[in-house]
Amino acid sequence: MAEFLQQVVEGLGAGAIYAGLALALVLIYRFTGVVNFAQGELAMFSTYIAWQFMAGGMAFWLALPLTLAVSFVGGMLIERVIIRPVEGAPELTVVIVTVGLFIFVNAAAGWIWSFLIKDFPSPFPAGSAQAGALTVSYSTLGNLAVVAVVMGALYLLFQHTKIGLGMRGVAADPRSARLVGIRVGWMLALGWGLAALVGAVSGVLVAPLLFLEPNMMGGVLLYAFAAATLGGFDSPVGAVVGGLIVGVAETLAGAYVGFIGSDLKVGVPLAIILAALLLRPQGLFGRAAVRQ
């Protein structure tokens, strides 16, 4: 039993990271109706920026806010420059553009920083806390705490600020939002900026576990997609819950299903996506879309 609980805790730690990226995906989907296939790569790029700052001798806790600021501005720029021209275009067009962005960002990172793996320091101390028979590493606790903080900050932003109200207005009905004087374009850009910021957080959390390299986020993106699909693509709470479930499911499947082992774990998100789409296409917390 202790062994089982231990696995669950490990899973939650991994799930926190997936939840972070899933949250970024959901933010963009909610505000712009775009699923950003480049989200993972943007997070990877942000992580490289953080690495660059630290390579220049900066302390982690100074590099982090700088990176987040750069990511936020970068995300807004991408929305304004790259996504704006195809806004309102068919899904196919938008998906292809974000796939183009995916390829470009991935290769650009390889060009700038090479494809060699780099060490990335963990922001959390190395030890672990003991709770009865359970050993919880500080990095697992840290990941969970960070995701909780991000979630809380987003909640405050959306529910208790004027900007958040504007963004919710845009998500609900862009035309009416424009009529009451909300600058829809800026709100959409803001959504992308926020998503890039949240993605950067998840990238910084992933990097110490997986090593920093341009293809670092490829697998994580798939788990995040599974998390967002399971939780519902338009629900931030769903993204976090979905992320935790995916993390736990993946860890348990790897540990207890002999056939899956560690190499076929990547089949778990595929199974979760398929199951979610077949049984509850709108996700656990999502609203069902009505088709006219």
Partner 1 sequence: MSERSERGPARPSLVAPVADEGDHVSEPSDGRAGLPGQAAEASAGARGWRGALVARWRGIAVVALLAVAIYAPFELVPFRVFQFTMVLVYAVALIGLNLLVGHAGQISLGHGAFFAVGAYTTAIMFDRWDVPYPLTLPAAAALAFVLGWAFGLPAVRLHGLYLALVTLAIAIFLVPLLKRFESVTGGSMGLTLAKPAPPAWTGLAPDQWLYFLALAVTVVAVLLARNLLRSRVGRAMRAVRDNEAAAEVMGVRLAFYKTLAFAWSAMFAGAAGCVYTWVIGFVSPDSFAVTLSITLLAGLVVGGLGSPAGPLLGGLFVMFVPSLSQDVNEAAPGVVFGLLIIAVMYVAPTGLAGLAGRAARTIGRTLRRE
Give the binding site for partner 1 (CB under 8 A). 33, 35, 37, 82, 85-86, 88-93, 95-97, 99-111, 115, 170-175, 218-219, 222, 225-226, 229, 234, 263-264, 266-267, 269-270, 273-274, 277-278, 281, 287, 289-292
Q: What is the 3-state secondary structure (H, E, C) of the chain?
A: CHHHHHHHHHHHHHHHHHHHHHHHHHHHHHHHCCCCCCHHHHHHHHHHHHHHHHHCCCCHHHHHHHHHHHHHHHHHHHHHHHHHHHCCCCHHHHHHHHHHHHHHHHHHHHHHHCCCCECCCCCCCCCEEEECCEEEEHHHHHHHHHHHHHHHHHHHHHHHCHHHHHHHHHHHCHHHHHHCCCCHHHHHHHHHHHHHHHHHHHHHHHHHHHCECCCCHHHHHHHHHHHHHHHCCCCHHHHHHHHHHHHHHHHHHHHHCCCCCCCHHHHHHHHHHHHHHHHCCCCCCCCCCCCC
Quick one: 32 or 137, whose CB is closer to partner 1?
Answer: 32
Q: Which C-beta is closer to partner 1: that of 9 or that of 194?
A: 194
- Could you tell me the maximum CA-CA distance found in the chain, to the nearest angstrom? 59
Q: Closest approach of Cβ 126 to partner 1, in Å?
A: 30
Residue 97 CB, shortest distance to partner 1, in Å, is: 5
Question: Whole-number minimum distance, CB 33 to partner 1, in Å?
Answer: 5
Quickly tell me which residue has 């989200």 as its tokens.
39
Contact 134, 9 (CB under 8 A): yes
Q: How far is the CB of 83 from partner 1 (least distance, A)?
A: 10
Question: How near is the Cβ of 199 to partner 1 at its closest, in Å?
Answer: 17
Smallest separation, CB 57 to partner 1 (Å): 27
Residue 88 vs 125, nearer CB to partner 1: 88
Cβ closer to partner 1: 66 or 271? Answer: 271
Distance CA 18, CA 231 (A): 12
- Taking the least distance from each CB to partner 1, the nearer of 98 and 202 is 98
CB of 149 to partner 1, least distance (A): 28
Token pair for 105: 């960002």
Q: Which is nearer to partner 1, 130 or 262 (CB)?
A: 262
Q: Which is nearer to partner 1, 144 or 223 (CB)?
A: 223
Q: Which is nearer to partner 1, 8 or 191 (CB)?
A: 191
Kindly state the smallest distance separating residue 275's Cβ from partner 1, in Å.
10
